[in-house]
Amino acid sequence: MADPKVIFSTALLAAASSIILAHNHPSGNHEPSQADIALTKKAIQAGSLLDIQVLDHLIITPDGTYFSFADENLMN
């Protein structure tokens, strides 16, 4: 599981105003897990407190398919 503290420490060091999260699913299933959904919500909340917008969360598979939380209107 990704740690928002680590994610945002990197963003803060870079003085980022926004970030895009991305990770792979080696299984080839591009559908988000409950853990992926929970992490996205947690990251959006943390980013809001830090004034760093989370623009999207991408799940990428080895065959080139992907899932975009933004494309699916799940970034709220």
For 22-71, how does the pLDDT look when each residue is reduced to its tens digit (9 = 90+)? 999 999 999 999 999 999 999 999 999 999 999 999 999 999 999 999 99
Residue 43 lies in a domain: yes
Domain total of the chain: 1
Residue 22 lies in a domain: yes
Q: How high is the pLDDT of residue 69? A: 98
CATH code where residue 51 lies: 3.40.140.10
What is the pLDDT confidence band of residue 76, given thresholds at 50, 70 and 90?
confident
Residue 31 lies in a domain: yes
Asked whether the whole model's pTM tops 0.85, one would answer: yes
Residue 1 above 80 pLDDT?
Answer: no
Residue 75 lies in a domain: no
Q: How high is the pLDDT of residue 65? A: 96
In angstroms, rounded to a whole number, what is the distance separating the alpha carbons of residues 41 and 69? Answer: 11
Residue 21 lies in a domain: yes
Region for 6 from its dihedrals, namely left if φ exceeds 0, alpha if ψ lies in -120 to 50, beta otherwise: alpha
Domain that holds residue 41: 4-9+17-68
Residue 24 lies in a domain: yes
The tokens for 15 are 């003085």
